[in-house]
Chains A and B, each alone.
Chain A
Amino acid sequence: MSAESTTRPEPAALDAADRRIINRLQEGLPLVASPYASVAAEIGLSEGELLYRLERLLESGVLSRFGPMYHAERLGGGLTLAALAVPESEYPRVTELVNAFPEVAHNYRREHRLNMWFVLATETPARIDETIAEIEAATGLPVYNMPKQEEFHVRLHLPV
Chain B
Amino acid sequence: MSVSTCPSEPAASNPPRQDGLDVLDRAIVVATQAGLPLVPDPWRAVGEPLGLSGEAVRERMVRMQAAGVIRRVAAVPNHYRLGYVANGMTVWDVDDAHVDRLGREVARLPGVSHCYRRPRHLPEWPYNLFVMLHGRTREEVEQQAERLCELLGAACRDHRILYSSRILKKTGLRLAGRSDRRGQMR
Contacts and interface: CB of A to CB of B under 8 A. Distances in A.
Given A75-B29, A79-B3, A154-B107, A69 B74 contact: yes
A25 B80 CA distance: 18
B69 A71 contact: yes
A80 to B, nearest CB: 9
A117 B82 contact: no
Which residue, of B163, B165, B175, has the highest number of chain A Cβ atoms within 10 A?
A: B175
A109 B118 contact: no
A112 interface: yes
Contacts of A70: 1, 29, 33, 69-71, 173, 175-176
A35 interface: yes
A75 B80 CA distance: 29
A154 B76 contact: no
B157 interface: no
A11 B82 contact: yes
Nearest to B162: A110
Question: Which size bracket describes the interface of B in this complex?
Answer: 35 or more
B39 A71 contact: no
Nearest to B135: A158
Interface in A1-31: 1, 3, 6-12, 14, 21-22, 25-29, 31
A35 to B, nearest CB: 7
Contact of A71 (B10, B70, B81, B134): B70
A31 B58 contact: yes
A154 B115 contact: yes
Contacts of A102: 174
B15 interface: yes
Contacts of B168: 3, 6, 95, 98-99, 107-109, 116, 118
DSSP majority for the A interface? Answer: mixed
A9 B16 CA distance: 39
Which of B13, B21, B71 counts the most chain A CB atoms within 10 A?
B71
A127 B10 CA distance: 28
Contacts of B108: 154
Contact of A68 (B73, B84, B124, B166): B73
A105 B33 CA distance: 13
8 contacts: A64-B78, A69-B71, A70-B1, A73-B15, A75-B19, A116-B168, A117-B164, A152-B104
The 4 closest A-B pairs by CB, nearest first: A28-B72, A25-B75, A77-B175, A67-B35
Interface of A: 1, 3, 6-12, 14, 21-22, 25-29, 31-37, 47, 51, 54-55, 57-58, 60-77, 79, 81, 95, 98-99, 102, 104-112, 114, 116-119, 121-123, 144-156, 158, 160
